[in-house]
Chains A and B, each alone.
Chain A
Amino acid sequence: MKISKTISALILSSLLVISSWGSAHAKRLTAAVADWTGGEITCQVAVSILEDELGYKIKRVVFPSGTGLWEAIAAGEIDFACESWPSYAEADTVMLKGPLVYDGDTKFMYEGDGSVKLLGTAGIIGMSDYYIPKYAADSLGIKSWKDLNKHKDKFATIETGGKGRLIGCPVAGWNCHDQKRLDLLGIDFQADELGTEAAAIAEAVAAYERKEPFLLYLWEPHWFFGAYEMVGINLPDHKTCDSFTEANNWKDCGTKAWPATGWAKDYTMNYGNPATFAKAEHADAVKFFSKMKFENADQAVMLVEVKQKKRDLKEVVAEWKKNNPNKWKSWLP
């Protein structure tokens, strides 16, 4: 009895699988879901247009951003990813080949091996800096990063002891090099890496509510600036340092160049696997990506909807698509 039950259940399940019918194969692509909300929105805009307008079936893969993602795309495991910020991607100069064009201007010429294809600009222009709340800047008279050391005890927490605390770049893979920057600039602060954007922001919100001074790494566009008054601390202007790579054992160029400077203005881009996008069946997708130009203002509005009003991201993007057809219809092939 028991054995027959067992066998019957096993047969039942295996027969089910065998007797099932395959589905018609749609055009499939695999996309990486970005791990910060702005990137998630940009990606959802691209993915929903590919799905609704160009008849794709897109697999969304949750994968941490960083060099690993670039390698996964080069290997063809993931077909494309959205809104890469050049300052954060160490792999871009090695793997991309060709010009990054924004509004007809060539912003950067990549001379890598071409193992990853530059699909075109995403449209978003990003800026990153360290910020302090306005109340702290006013009351302590902090005008630039040079004033931070004087007030480091006000920025200290139990975890940092005598040093000030920077709520730093949350993910190591983003290559912010916060601690290195602080050390090079002689700012006696400790960078805390909290693991996720959400955790860092949660800390910042709590500190703001308590009206404590705090130093926060952040980027624009971000919903945080809509809700709270923050001022940048004017890090030195960006200057590249060619020797500062992992391969070169992080050999820095001193206090005048990256990472002792702020970030460059980031013309963000979409990138994908060259072999995939060379296929004729994806020609429409290539055309779409070359035309896509999603703007900061649009993303900022949607960020507030998603993060502050806690609405579903897909819903917000669908709504934006419905209300602003003129903005994205021109991206279609």
Chain B
Amino acid sequence: MSNSISITKEKSKYSKNIIAYSVALVIFLVALWLSSQSEGPSKFPKVVTDEFTFTAWVNEGEDYLKKNYRWFTKIIAGYIKAGYYFLEDFLLDSPWVLVTAILFLPCLAVGGLRLALYSLFVVYFWGGTGMWNESLQTVALMGLSVVLCVFFGVILGVLCSQSDRFEAFMKPILDTMQVMPAFVYLFPALFFFGIGGAPAILATMIYAMPPVIRLTNIGIRQVPAQTVESATSFGSNKLQLLFKIKIPLSLPSIMMGINQVIMMALALVVLACFIGAEGIGGQVWLAIRNLDVGWAMEGGLCILFMAIMFDRFSMALSKEPEVIPNDVQKFYLLPQTWERFVIARIIEKPLEYGHYIINFICIKITNSVAYLFQILISLFSKSTAKDIGEFISNRYYIIPSFIIFFIISFIDSNLFSFGSFPEDWKLSIRQPIEDGVKALTVHPGFIAFAKGLRGFVYLNLLRPLDIFLTHIPWWYTMAIFVAIGYFTVGIRFAIITALLLMFIGACGIWSQSMITLSSVLVSVILCFVIGVPLGVIASYNKRYRDIQNVVLDAMQTLPYFCYLIPVLMFFGGGIVSAVLATVIYSIPPIIRLTALGLTQVSGTYSEVSRSFGGTLIQTLRKVKFPLAVPSLVMGFNQTVIMAFAMQIVTPLIGGKGLGLEVFNGLARSDTGRGLAAGIGIVLLAIIIDRITLAWTRKQREALGL
């Protein structure tokens, strides 16, 4: 009895699948027929596009705002600019030794000897490659953005944590801030806040602030109820509760937020070279414009090393100090696990003594300074004096650091000047990279491969899909999207989808969006073809996975601008290169989530399958993959979003579609045109994002996860 039921169930599921597939096939065939029938690219009815002059409205609105409110935005920009110039001048005019010390000492104090040595290497790399000034400009831009982000972010986060209504109000705003490609507001910002530092910093704030708001909010909300209760029972009022209990306890979470802010700010600050902000981004762009791969690579590495340094620094800030048993020697330079080797212990011994000596000196100096302060201030008030004395002597790195800074600037201004970074210490990897690339580009085998790949991607994927998508009548494409939206998410979403697509069409950028869509689809397909096997390998081999994770971490740290470089090296400019750059940028999530999904499938499932005699492939195909589908779809989702984000920079190497529209808008100072295209990218990304998310949820429910 039960058997027959399960069979019919199986049957009905089977036939349901058949129906679904055949419906999809019919839809596809009709689309194919329609697109082959149409003469040229499908155009939105002229009546609509002529009436719906979004571009003109935006430009008129902008003119109005410019005329009437620019004085206000200019004042804000003026303050930010003043702060930025101040910081920049300070960094650029200081002797290089002082700048090095400013980066080195906090790293030493917070991250230990390893990070400190790394910071020396980073500083040397900036100077050695001749990008000293540019690197410091980027540091200044990023530093100021981070400070402002953290300041406003923490305030907003605290407000969110105190009021549910405010949190509900902020949530959609934060979502939009995170999804919107930065370019869309980057260049209207230009017209209100001027060129250079100020709009870059403000745009960075929009882009990088959400995590710190979110994490502050979460951190405060997660403070245990018992703690709050006991504090209240001791008579704390609401403000005391907030500042003495809740915020200090949520500091780790806030620090996590700051870490993310730093990384995101760095990515955007580099991109801001398009609106005239100085720094390494400008160098990389110049290098790309000159097709100078070595130069671009040096710039990219400067950014990468800088990013890793700040990442580790902020991580160290939020991490608990390691507790090491008393009988074990603490290692400062080598990995702690090497403790079992005698040689390592011998090497570490002097470092340990050095640490003790420096510590001793620092504490003595700090204590005497603290004592001095205590005496001075105790003339006025005894209790404050004690507090301040304690405050100073608890932070025994600060005073000595300042003494060192002071000594350096004293020597520089009175004895001999250090000047800028010594030119003899040049380190250049331009020539070897250039030579390597040249050698590879004339290598006949590689030429054949590159040409073959280019031809294959263009002829078999890109062109057919371009023609197919642009030639299908717009109403048909729209109907398909709406139908998918209806079946996966619901009626409300279907209506929204229709409206959003209507907007794209009415702006007159339908065919450009289809080209963008096809570039993204091709990129995502390639990501899948390359990424899923890599993920599968990673799920079986732990050592390979560890190595791959390091590479992927580095890839995700690098601003997306830098991905144009390797492609440019080997494939030159053109629409295929744009697709390949997109693939490189957006592949990490699919690799990561494939590996994650497959390793997370609990051992019992695969063991059961094995014990029933399933081969490795069978287990993978029949058991692991189906169970890993939600994770795979998540990877797909993230890859798609990243591929859309990349469309903004690919026009630099020959990309087409909406990204090019954004660029042309910028070059022609036509904000409306750029904004319409930018919104187009956002809308396509949002539609696809929501559909895949809803689908994942359904899959999860079906699997009972």
A contact residues vs B (CB 8 Å cutoff): 1-9, 11-17, 20-23, 30, 32-33, 35, 37, 59-68, 70-72, 75, 77-78, 158-159, 171-173, 192-203, 206, 246
- Give the 10 A-B CB pairs with smallest separation, nearest first: A173-B667, A199-B573, A66-B667, A77-B195, A68-B669, A198-B291, A61-B276, A20-B90, A8-B395, A62-B282
Question: In the bound complex, do residue B653 and residue A173 qualify as a contact, i.e. CB atoms below 8 Å apart?
Answer: no
Instruction: Find out whether the CB atom of A172 lies under 8 angstroms from the CB atom of B667.
Output: yes
Listed by A's residue number, 10 A-B pairs whose Cβ atoms lie within 8 Å are A2-B252, A3-B248, A7-B395, A22-B90, A59-B278, A61-B278, A192-B574, A194-B653, A197-B289, A203-B573
Residue from B86, B276, B575 within 8 A of A62 (CB atoms): B276
A68 and B291 form a contact (CB under 8 A)? no
Given the contacts A67-B667, A158-B459, A194-B654, A78 and B276 also touching, CB distance less than 8 Å: yes
Query: Which residues of chain B are near A66, meaning CB under 8 Å?
Result: 667-669
Instruction: For the complex formed, measure the closest distance between the CB of B308 and the CB atoms of chain A, giving whole angstroms.
Output: 18
Contact A171 B667 (CB under 8 A): yes
Contact with A along B650-683 (1 / 0, CB 8 A): 0111110000100110111110000000000000
Any A CB within 8 A of the CB of B561: no
B666 contacts A62, C-beta separation under 8 Å: no
- CA of A252 to CA of B102, assembled, Å: 61
Instruction: Report the Cα distance A206→B438, complex, angstroms.
Output: 13
Residue of A4, A9, A77, A158 near B194 (CB, 8 A) is A77
Whole-angstrom distance from the CB of A209 to the nearest CB of chain B? 10
Tell whether, in the assembled complex, residue B286 and residue A62 are in contact, meaning their CB atoms are under 8 Å apart: yes
Mask, B356-380, CB within 8 Å of A = 1, is 0000000000000000000000000
**Least CB separation from B70: chain A residue:** A75
Verify A17–B87 contact, CB threshold 8 A: yes
> Considering only CB atoms, which chain A residue lies closest to B661 in the complex?
A172
Q: CA A16 – CA B94 in complex, angstroms?
A: 12
Chain B residues contacting A3 (CB-CB under 8 Å) are 248, 251
Q: Interface with A: B155-163, B396-404, B475-483, B625-633, which one?
A: B396-404
Interface size of B by CB at 8 A reads 67
B573 near A173 with CB under 8 A, answer no
Q: Does B235 contact A (CB under 8 A)?
A: no
Q: Mark B96-113, 1 if CB is under 8 A from A, else 0.
A: 000000100010011000
CB distance from A184 to the nearest CB of B (A): 19
- Since A195-B651, A199-B573, A201-B291 are in contact, a sample of 8 more A-B pairs with Cβ atoms closer than 8 Å, ordered by chain A residue number, is A4-B395, A6-B255, A11-B395, A12-B106, A12-B401, A20-B87, A62-B276, A173-B666
Give a binary string over B583-605; 1 marks a CB under 8 Å from any A CB, 0 the rest: 00000000000000000000000
Q: Is B394 an interface residue (CB 8 A)?
A: yes
Q: In the complex, which residues of chain B have a beta carbon less than 8 angstroms from the beta carbon of A173?
A: 664, 666-668
Q: How far does the alpha carbon of A158 sit from the alpha carbon of B90 in the complex, in Å?
A: 54
With contacts A196-B288, A202-B572 known, is A23 near B664, CB below 8 A?
no
User: Are B89 and A23 in touch, CB under 8 angstroms?
Assistant: yes
Partner of A2, one of B109, B190, B321, B458: B321
In angstroms, how far is the closest chain B Cβ from the Cβ of A173?
3
Q: State in angstroms the CA–CA spacing of A239 and B286 once bound together.
A: 35
Across-interface contacts of B147 in A (CB, < 8 A): 14
Residue among B89, B290, B458 with the highest chain A CB neighbour number at 10 A:
B290
Please tell me if the beta carbons of A22 and B86 are within 8 angstroms of each other in the complex: yes
B110 touches A9 (CB 8 A): yes
B266 to chain A, nearest CB (A): 16
Q: Which residues of chain B in 181-199 are interfacial with respect to chain A, using CB atoms and an 8 Å cutoff? A: 190-191, 194-196
Q: Which residues of B contact A4 (CB under 8 A)?
A: 394-395
* Complexed CA–CA distance, A62 and B143 (Å): 21
On chain B, the residues within 8 Å of A197 by CB distance are 289
Chain A hits for B102, CB < 8 A: 16
Instruction: Check A202/B575 contact, CB under 8 A, given A62-B273, A62-B276.
Output: no
Knowing A62-B285, A194-B574, A195-B652, the reply to whether A8 touches B109 (Cβ < 8 A) is: yes
